[in-house]
Amino acid sequence: NAGVTQTPKFQVLKTGQSMTLQCAQDMNHEYMSWYRQDPGMGLRLIHYSVGAGITDQGEVPNGYNVSRSTTEDFPLRLLSAAPSQTSVYFCASRPTGQVTYNEQFFGPGTRLTVL
């Protein structure tokens, strides 16, 4: 299994540009999520999904859109990038069900800079 994969690894955008961060997992996990990591702030939840066709907002959803058309993929869209969105973005997944205790598997991250 490849686990959780993310592309691209690095990206530089200009203010106002749009882009999509890709995330895929091959573990058949129902639950997927996106976090952003900023210095001194840990990881903050942007959006999450508990299955195909179901998404919901996390702690910091503004400026980001998501969709979940398949179990495997959970892309994150920036419609109009802003410098405040400069961050490292992590995708994570886990099976649903109480037995998992919410242990999540993380991708390697995408480092995004918005100029």
Partner 1 sequence: AQSVTQLGSHVSVSEGALVLLRCNYSSSVPPYLFWYVQYPNQGLQLLLKYTTGATLVKGINGFEAEFKKSETSFHLTKPSAHMSDAAEYFCAVSVPFSGSARQLTFGSGTQLTVLP
Side-by-side strand order, sheet with 76-78: 4-7, 19-25, 76-78, 64-66
Over its C-alpha atoms, the chain yields an Rg (Å, rounded) of 13
Judged by CB under 8 A, the residue of 8, 15, 26, 56 near partner 1 is 56
Sequence-ordered list of residues with C-beta below 8 angstroms from that of 79, at least 6 positions apart, any chain: 18, 63, 65
- Give the span between the Cα atoms of 74 and 64, in whole angstroms: 13
> Pattern 19-48, binding to partner 1, x per CB under 8 A?
------------x-x-x----xxxxxx--x
Q: Which CB atom, from 9 or from 14, has the smaller least distance to partner 1?
A: 9
Size of the site for partner 1 (CB under 8 A): 25
Measured from the CB atom, the residue of 51 and 83 that comes closer to partner 1 is: 51
Token code pair at residue 9: 């690894």
Q: Which CB atom, from 58 or from 75, has the smaller least distance to partner 1?
A: 58
Smallest distance, partner 1 to C-beta of residue 73, A = 18
Residues 89-108 within binding reach of partner 1 (CB under 8 A): 90, 92, 96, 101-104, 106-108
CA distance 12 to 44: 21
Separation between Cα atoms, residue 58 and residue 69, nearest integer Å = 19
User: Tokens 């886990």, residue?
Assistant: 94
Binding residues (CB under 8 A) for partner 1: these are 4, 31, 33, 35, 40-45, 48, 50, 56, 58, 90, 92, 96, 101-104, 106-109
